[in-house]
Amino acid sequence: MRTPKDLISFTCSALDEVRSQSPLVQCITNSVVVNFTANVLLALGAAPAMVDIPGEAGPFGRVASGLLVNLGTPTAEQRDAMLEAVVAANDAATPWVLDPVAIGFLPVRTPLAFALRDLRPSVVRGNASEIIALAGGGSGGRGVDSADQVDAALEAASALAGKTGGVIAVSGPVDLLTDGRELVRIANGHPLLTRVTGGGCALGAVMAAFAAVDGDSFATTVAAATVYTIAAEIAAENATGPGSFAVAFLDALAGVTADDVARLAVLR
Amino acid sequence: MRTPKDLISFTCSALDEVRSQSPLVQCITNSVVVNFTANVLLALGAAPAMVDIPGEAGPFGRVASGLLVNLGTPTAEQRDAMLEAVVAANDAATPWVLDPVAIGFLPVRTPLAFALRDLRPSVVRGNASEIIALAGGGSGGRGVDSADQVDAALEAASALAGKTGGVIAVSGPVDLLTDGRELVRIANGHPLLTRVTGGGCALGAVMAAFAAVDGDSFATTVAAATVYTIAAEIAAENATGPGSFAVAFLDALAGVTADDVARLAVLR
Amino acid sequence: MRTPKDLISFTCSALDEVRSQSPLVQCITNSVVVNFTANVLLALGAAPAMVDIPGEAGPFGRVASGLLVNLGTPTAEQRDAMLEAVVAANDAATPWVLDPVAIGFLPVRTPLAFALRDLRPSVVRGNASEIIALAGGGSGGRGVDSADQVDAALEAASALAGKTGGVIAVSGPVDLLTDGRELVRIANGHPLLTRVTGGGCALGAVMAAFAAVDGDSFATTVAAATVYTIAAEIAAENATGPGSFAVAFLDALAGVTADDVARLAVLR
């Protein structure tokens, strides 16, 4: 079990790796956040590719460096594309991230999320309610908002990690990440991130970008969340509301340095 | 018939209610403005949920606080989802807003708009050409732009209110709102709002958010339009073009106060 | 063969024409950039209309002033709509722009791009890899990024112009435009434009707007690319990263003048 200090050190080098390798991240994501997600990846130095139609999602999944599957607005074509892309990613041993947006009582995405869970995502990112629902308990949150506190999802996250063999990231005021063996909390971030649509969804794409540059999924997921939430803190210093925050956040993702990470990271 | 002063006073308290209740607003809207619409609702303090696929739109419509149905880019799945969601909203007595974008000669959305009209939306929001077309006259505007002046839609708006039993809001340089009994004009706003895509569409979502917090649809619709157009005025003070205006507008929606409303509202 | 000076002079008057005529530009484009594309057109003074469903794309194509067909996220409905709209545009002698995003090995969009190419687009805009692939050679780039330099596409661009009878615009650090008879390079622009999703895609829409105001497709395409890349330079002066750049770019498109063009254009 690594110390927070180890993980912060890893984060600093992983950030440089993402920028130098510019991983190609395939995103099958919702219509609300698809633009912001692409801009977040570009700002960070990664290369987004929103290849999300059946017949192309699979072939592209074989060449992408990482994959995000986000259930926010799952059209019939996207649902087929998700399964295609995940099979391809698994064949190619490409890391992929599942974001089970608003699952619980919604009758199309919820069984799809369970089917995707059983295909063993490298990372699952969600709020507490979504993680509890995907672990098999609870009935989800209020739309995209969590009805549960992060720590209420601790047991569910561990159980879910047991099922997927991957990393579970529970987003909230303090993020909680575990792969069932290691566990860390990240106390960085800013409330304005919850006032911008895609604030959570785009983090899933960033986790796919980081996972693409190193096989250590737990550490790359911690690195992604740490860089992302520190960029939010930097952005908030220059923001006067959610509009200017979103703009400053993209600038901060482009500008955040390993030094900023070392100085600002609060892991425990 | 209330005075402008009464309605401004109502607006001030409705704004506070939206922020304290944070209504869950389901939006089935077009791909162009879906991101901006979600950000507008978040900035205002409401909770957006873009649940727009068949099989989910109905179940979600039963739990949402308000619903927006916007015909901007109506895919086949969205068209089915709209009908599902409206039936659910009507069953649950949930207020819903219809935005008949660019109806007139376009052969898919126009009959759909008439079918939705007959399901009695709580509020219809459109430009003058759209309102005239939905009332059964005219052939619509030039794409999404109105070919008619706001006051040319006065008779159509009253007739349409008679058909739906709800509120009709005609957007333009001076907005006109009526439910067939009361009528008010709102002279707030700024031309830059027409230079940002979604400037009109997102207002429909805001009307759904306000309608969710009080059963007085006429007054909540007036409140939504007043807050929205005052935020545009505040934003324009800090803008150097349409890009910076859109950013400042989100900040202004988050920051606008009851005092600003009382000071700036121009209703007659 | 006109001189760069001739083309710059044409650009200055074409910019004024776009603003005074406000051409109605139908866009069938990808979900990632559809919002940004509409905002770019609005900032410039054109009127965007994203009419992209079967049954409506054709009728609208008969009344639009220009058309963009962009293959970024081609859903089944959009693919049908593209063919409908292009047939209508050709019938009405309306100029249209094809953007063959990420073609090469992707098996749905690539044959579609060839079919659209054979319908003789007025303008094809792409990166070097896309142009080479559409001319019948190469296997495309890395997702949306070019694997080839602009000048490597020179021969392909000329061959492609021979097939379409139109203009071919190869985007890159220095843009190359040819219709097989005339050829010009535009050395304006800024690297931050590649850090904003839609930086290339929205240019296709701007080319459709300019093509709508004058029948001289080569000159209007040069004008569109020149105005667009000069606006990027102006925006970069006020940007601290990709987020603030995107905002400043919209402001710059709204504010750029014929004088700016005359002062800053670098054509050769």
The answer to whether B46 and B89 are in contact (CB under 8 A) is no
Q: What does each C-alpha distance from B176 to A178, B6, B157, B225 come to in angstroms?
A: 55, 17, 9, 10
Backbone angles phi, psi at A168, to 5 degrees: -120, 125
Report the C-alpha gap between A87 and A69 in whole angstroms.
12
Given an 8 Å threshold on Cβ–Cβ distance, is C43 in contact with B241?
Answer: yes
Give percent above pLDDT 70 in chain B.
Answer: 97
pLDDT at A1: 80
Given an 8 Å threshold on Cβ–Cβ distance, is A53 in contact with C36?
Answer: no
The answer to whether B156 and B132 are in contact (CB under 8 A) is yes
Written as six digits, the tokens of B28 are 């089935």
Q: Please tell me which of the candidates C32, C241, C243 has its beta carbon nearest to residue A34.
A: C32
Of residues C145 and B125, more confidence is placed in B125
Q: Please tell me which of the candidates A36, A144, A247 has its beta carbon nearest to residue B49.
A: A144
Residue C207: which of C170, C252, C261, C164 has the closest Cα? C170
H or E element at residue C133: helix C128-134
Given an 8 Å threshold on Cβ–Cβ distance, is B76 in contact with C60?
Answer: no
Which long-range CB contacts under 8 A does A174-181 form with residues at least 24 apart? A174/A150, A175/A150, A175/A225, A175/A229, A176/A150, A176/A151, A177/A218, A177/A221, A177/A222, A177/A225, A178/A154, A179/A217, A179/A218, A181/A1, A181/A218
Strand order in the sheet with C167-171: C47-49, C24-28, C66-70, C96-99, C123-127, C167-171, C175-178, C183-186
pLDDT at C10: 98
pLDDT at B2: 93
Rounded to the nearest integer, the mean pLDDT of chain C is 96
The C-alpha angle with vertex C5 and arms to C1 and C8, in degrees rounded to 5, equals 105
Which chain A residues have a beta carbon less than 8 Å from that of B51? 73, 102, 106, 143
pLDDT(A143) > 80: no
Residue B145: which of B217, B92, B197, B184 has the closest Cα? B197
Given an 8 Å threshold on Cβ–Cβ distance, is A32 in contact with B55?
Answer: no
Every domain of chain A and the residues it spans: 21-179+191-214
CA B75 distance to own-chain centroid: 21
Rounded to the nearest integer, the mean pLDDT of chain B is 96
Going by pLDDT thresholds of 50, 70 and 90, the confidence category of residue A17 is very high
Q: Please tell me which of the candidates C76, C109, C242 has its beta carbon nearest to residue A42.
A: C242
Q: What is the chain C residue with the closest CA to A59?
A: C106
Which chain A residues have a beta carbon less than 8 Å from that of B60? 106, 143
Q: Once rounded to an integer, what is the mean pLDDT over residues B169-192?
A: 97
Q: What does each C-alpha distance from A79 to A53, A110, A111, A134, A251 come to in angstroms?
A: 9, 12, 11, 17, 33
H or E element at residue C81: helix C76-91
- In sequence order, which residues have a C-beta less than 8 Å from that of residue C159 and are 6 or more positions away? C135, C136
CATH homologous superfamily, domain A21-179+191-214: Ribokinase (3.40.1190.20)
Q: What is the chain A residue with the closest CA to B252?
A: A241
Which chain B residues have a beta carbon less than 8 Å from that of A106? 51, 56, 59-60
pLDDT at B48: 98
Which chain A residues have a beta carbon less than 8 Å from that of C247? 247
Contact A19/B at CB under 8 A: no
Burial A178-197 (b: 16+ CB within 10 A, else e): bbbeebbbbebbbebbbbbb
The answer to whether A157 and A176 are in contact (CB under 8 A) is yes
Strand order in the sheet with B175-178: B47-49, B24-28, B66-70, B96-99, B123-127, B167-171, B175-178, B183-186
Strand order in the sheet with A47-49: A47-49, A24-28, A66-70, A96-99, A123-127, A167-171, A175-178, A183-186
pLDDT at B143: 63
Per-residue pLDDT of chain C (268 residues; tens, 9 = 90+): 899 999 999 999 999 999 999 999 999 999 999 999 999 999 999 999 999 999 999 999 999 999 999 999 999 999 999 999 999 999 999 999 999 999 999 999 999 999 999 999 999 999 999 999 999 976 666 666 677 789 999 999 999 999 999 999 999 999 999 999 999 999 999 999 999 999 999 999 999 999 999 999 999 999 999 999 999 999 999 899 999 999 999 999 999 999 999 999 999 9
**Amino acid identity of A51?**
V
Neighbours of A147 (CB within 10 A): 16
pLDDT at A137: 74
Q: Give the chains touching A; criterion: ≥3 Cβ pairs < 8 Å.
A: B, C
Rounded to the nearest integer, the mean pLDDT of chain A is 96
Report the C-alpha gap between A120 and A102 in whole angstroms.
19
Given an 8 Å threshold on Cβ–Cβ distance, is A39 in contact with C197?
Answer: yes
CA distance C216 to chain B (A): 25
Contact B145/C at CB under 8 A: yes
pLDDT at C140: 61
Q: Please tell me which of the candidates C49, C53, C251 has its beta carbon nearest to residue B244.
A: C251
The secondary structure of chain B as a DSSP string is: ---HHHHHHHHHHHHHHHHHH--EEEEE--TTTHHHHHHHHHHHT-EEE---STTTHHHHHTT-SEEEEE-SS--HHHHHHHHHHHHHHHHTT--EEEE-TT-BS-TTHHHHHHHHHTT--SEEEEEHHHHHHHTT-S-B-BTTB-SS-GGGGHHHHHHHHHHHSSEEEEESSSEEEE-SS-EEEE----GGGGGSTTTTHHHHHHHHHHHTT-S-HHHHHHHHHHHHHHHHHHHHTT-SSHHHHHHHHHHHHHH--HHHHHHH--B-
Going by pLDDT thresholds of 50, 70 and 90, the confidence category of residue B1 is confident
Look at the domain C4-264 and name its fold: UDP-N-acetylmuramoyl-L-alanine:D-glutamate ligase (3.40.1190)
Give percent above pLDDT 90 in chain A.
Answer: 94
Of residues C142 and A44, more confidence is placed in A44
Going by pLDDT thresholds of 50, 70 and 90, the confidence category of residue A228 is very high
Given an 8 Å threshold on Cβ–Cβ distance, is C32 in contact with A38?
Answer: yes
**Amino acid identity of A173?**
P
Given an 8 Å threshold on Cβ–Cβ distance, is C39 in contact with B76?
Answer: no
Backbone angles phi, psi at C65, to 5 degrees: -85, -25
The answer to whether B253 and B41 are in contact (CB under 8 A) is no
Q: Once rounded to an integer, what is the mean pLDDT over residues A48-69?
A: 98
pLDDT at B138: 63
Given an 8 Å threshold on Cβ–Cβ distance, is C143 in contact with A51?
Answer: yes
